[in-house]
Amino acid sequence: MSAYTYGIDFDAIAAIDIHTHVEIDGCGHRSMDDELMAASEKYFKSGAERTPTIQAIAEHYRARNMAAVVFTVDAGAATGHAPNSVEEIAEVAAQHNDVLIPFGSVDPWQGRAAVRRARRLVDEFGVKGFKFHPSMQGFEPNDRRFYPLYEALTEAGVPALFHTGQTGIGAGLPGGHGIKLRYSDPMLLDDVAADFPDLTLVLAHPSVPWVDAQISIATHKANVYLDLSGWSPKYFPPQLVRAVNGMLRHKALFGSDFPVIQVDRWRADFADLEMKPEVTPLIFKANALRVLGITD
């Protein structure tokens, strides 16, 4: 085991993709079962390889002079499906620390065990943040039963990235495979942001159908950011584009949702938006450096 330390030349890289998934790990686990994987592929119309290795992800971003935050989601309690090995991801990311930044994931339903594991992932494996997917993990983020976990993340000084809005996981299946969208309403995270002002929160994806709420929360709470992953920029709601181009220029982060959305496609579509030239470098790198604690 080797704890991750940054080997990235942050001055030289062109961008930081804050949102990439490891869907298969070195232990042979997959982040979703076959039915959910197939539904997700249909929803995103994924044409590329859905399960690249961590090494392949590193090569993909290295070739583009970019860094990438990599993670999985531990949703064992809600899905009954064995998660990818978070520890394995962190260890392999450490071997590619010139381009990869590992985030951890813990199942909130594990209670005190989740808190202990989160601390161990930071202290022993060097993860630089945590990913949560409330709909997939089946929990309401503002339930006070999970507050000890947020306290641990606050103490560790690492950000928490939460899926918000619609999800392609379970899309089109009967009952959405039992996955409930309301858990990913960003207003639930407004409570968390208010109660943990020293915890940096990232609201992942345009939070359709709650985009206006997402914009309000990110505007109101200094500790809340948003990432732009999971959607081609050509489909961004217009009010989100206006906000990112204006009052949220220091709050928006580049994210692709790789491999379900290819980074080259996302960047090409983003280039077609009428973004102010001074805003683009903030989105692609400067804001992420602040979220990750690299700069103030």
Tens-digit pLDDT profile for residues 9-53 = 999 999 999 999 998 755 445 555 666 556 656 656 655 566 799
Q: What is the distance between the alpha carbons of residues 131 and 266, in angstroms, rounded to a whole number? A: 21
Whether residue 9 lies inside any domain: the answer is no
pLDDT of residue 31: 57
> What is the phi-psi region of residue 14: left when phi exceeds 0, alpha when psi lies from -120 to 50, beta otherwise?
alpha
> What sign results for the dihedral spanned by CA atoms 169, 233, 61, 291?
negative
Whether residue 3 lies inside any domain: the answer is no
Whether residue 209 lies inside any domain: the answer is yes
Q: How many domains does the chain have?
A: 1
| pTM, two decimal places | 0.93
Mean pLDDT of 196-201: 98
pLDDT tens digits, residue range 110-131? Answer: 999 999 999 999 999 999 999 9
pLDDT of residue 80: 87
CATH number for 237 = 3.20.20.140
Task: Tell me the residue range of the domain where 61 lies.
Answer: 15-292
Q: What is the distance between the alpha carbons of residues 134 and 45, in angstroms, rounded to a whole number? A: 23
Is the per-residue pLDDT at 149 higher than 70? yes
Whether residue 25 lies inside any domain: the answer is yes
pLDDT tens digits, residue range 51-86? Answer: 799 999 999 999 999 999 999 999 999 888 888 899
Whether residue 5 lies inside any domain: the answer is no
Whether residue 1 lies inside any domain: the answer is no
Q: What is the distance between the alpha carbons of residues 134 and 169, in angstroms, rounded to a whole number? A: 12
- On the 0-12 / 13-18 / 19+ scale of CB atoms within 10 A, 194 is middle
pLDDT tens digits, residue range 200-233? Answer: 999 999 999 999 999 999 999 999 999 999 999 9
Q: Calculate the average pLDDT of the chain.
A: 93
Is the per-residue pLDDT at 247 higher than 90? yes
pLDDT of residue 39: 60
Q: 9-43: b or e for each residue (b if 16 or more CB lie within 10 Å)?
A: eeeebebbbbbbbbbbbeeebbbbeeebbebbeeb
Instruction: Find residue 201's DSSP bridge partners.
Output: 160, 224
pLDDT of residue 28: 46
pLDDT of residue 205: 98
Q: Show the tokens assigned to 172.
A: 């089109």
Whether residue 4 lies inside any domain: the answer is no
Whether residue 31 lies inside any domain: the answer is yes
Q: What is the distance between the alpha carbons of residues 20 and 158, in angstroms, rounded to a whole number? A: 18
pLDDT of residue 27: 47
Report how far apart the first and last C-alpha atoms of the chain are (Å, whole number).
Answer: 30
